[in-house]
Chains A and B, each alone.
Chain A
Amino acid sequence: EAGVAQSPRYKIIEKRQSVAFWCNPISGHATLYWYQQILGQGPKLLIQFQNNGVVDDSQLPKDRFSAERLKGVDSTLKIQPAKLEDSAVYLCASSLDHSSYEQYFGPGTRLTVT
């Protein structure tokens, strides 16, 4: 079984630029999560999708972050414009459905904003 795929693995941009991350969850997993992990901290949930609908985006900075999961499979997370404090690893995870406790994480995208 293929795991959660993410790309790119690394990205360096200047502040005020835009960036997008892509995630392909495990086949058949209805629930998809985006987390932000700042160095020295644990992952923090940004947004949770159930199929193509948003379940929770309470911690997503909506003035600059957006995410979509149009066909209920792949998802993209965008930051526009980026700030220095957005430097972090962005992790995508998926689970069978929203009532599943076990989440499967991708390798993450390390973003550096200079």
Chain B
Amino acid sequence: DQQVKQNSPSLSVQEGRISILNCDYTNSMFDYFLWYKKYPAEGPTFLISISSIKDKNEDGRFTVFLNKSAKHLSLHIVPSQPGDSAVYFCAASVRGTYKYIFGTGTRLKVLA
């Protein structure tokens, strides 16, 4: 039972353009969402998060949008840079548990 789904295993984008990574979830009890970035041979690093009381959170080139009715969140990277090439995981947590369910990841390749 995959509660957090990232249906696109890979994505290629030209440098300078927008990258949009998508994540869907099934559990309506999830109330906090995070995006992690992972380079090869390294552990995931925290990128950005959003609480269910918001529908948007922005941090520099990174913006996360949350659509609770659709149980969907997306990560926008504008403009995309070659250094953004990595695997991106979304993760979700049920209020008060601080336990994360991770998606399967999307490999982003930004082409110079």
Residues of chain A having any CB pair with chain B under 8 Å: 4, 9, 40-45, 48, 56, 91, 93, 95, 98-108
Taking a contact as CB atoms under 8 Å apart, the answer to whether B104 and A4 are in contact is no
Residues of chain B having any CB pair with chain A under 8 Å: 4, 32, 34, 36, 41-46, 49, 89, 91, 93, 98-105
Taking a contact as CB atoms under 8 Å apart, the answer to whether A93 and B43 are in contact is yes
A40 to B34, CA, bound (A): 19
Taking CB atoms, residues of chain B closer than 8 Å to A41 are 104
Main secondary structure of the interface of B (DSSP, over half): strand
Taking CB atoms, residues of chain A closer than 8 Å to B89 are 42-43
Taking a contact as CB atoms under 8 Å apart, the answer to whether A91 and B102 are in contact is no
16 sampled A-B residue pairs with Cβ under 8 A: A9-B41, A41-B104, A42-B91, A43-B44, A44-B102, A45-B99, A45-B100, A91-B44, A93-B43, A98-B98, A100-B98, A101-B32, A101-B49, A102-B34, A104-B45, A106-B43
